[in-house]
Structure 1
Amino acid sequence: MRTRTWALIAASVAVIAIFFILREHWAHALGLSPYLMLLACPLLHLLHSHGGHCGTAQNLDVTSVENS
């Protein structure tokens, strides 16, 4: 329970620090936002699970194996 309390305190302090940093440097943060979005795209492609693809041929193969 103590670990959870310290994690909550650390998260609260981090949120407050980020708020004050962004408040002072909002123009710089908005200037970096297009680059952050460009960096996020490859990361999402690498880290995203590929379970949601619509592979009907693969789905048919799986169901035919399960039914036999």
Structure 2
Amino acid sequence: MNDNHSPSAWSTYSRTVFIASAAIALALIAYEHRVHVLGILPWLLILACPLMHLFMHHGHGGHSGHDHAGHAAGTIQQKTKETNDV
């Protein structure tokens, strides 16, 4: 027989069977180990607090090195200029 397509290591059937069995295996592993995962969640919440503190405070004065007082003065000057134009 002469096939027009190149032979593949993974046929459609083989790929479908592999994906289905991998999904079933992952579901069974997740079901069996849910107690371990749920036991770790409180510790992950405690760990998230210092990480959020480190990564989310970059916009406050003193950490970024910008002069926020100058930015505030610039907005005040802009507002007074807009009110004078009206």
Q: TM-score, normalised by structure 1?
A: 0.46
Q: Which has the higher contact order (CA 8 A, sep 6+)?
A: 1
Q: So what's the TM-score if we normalise by structure 2?
A: 0.38
Name the larger-Rg structure.
2
Higher helix proportion (structure 1 or 2): 1
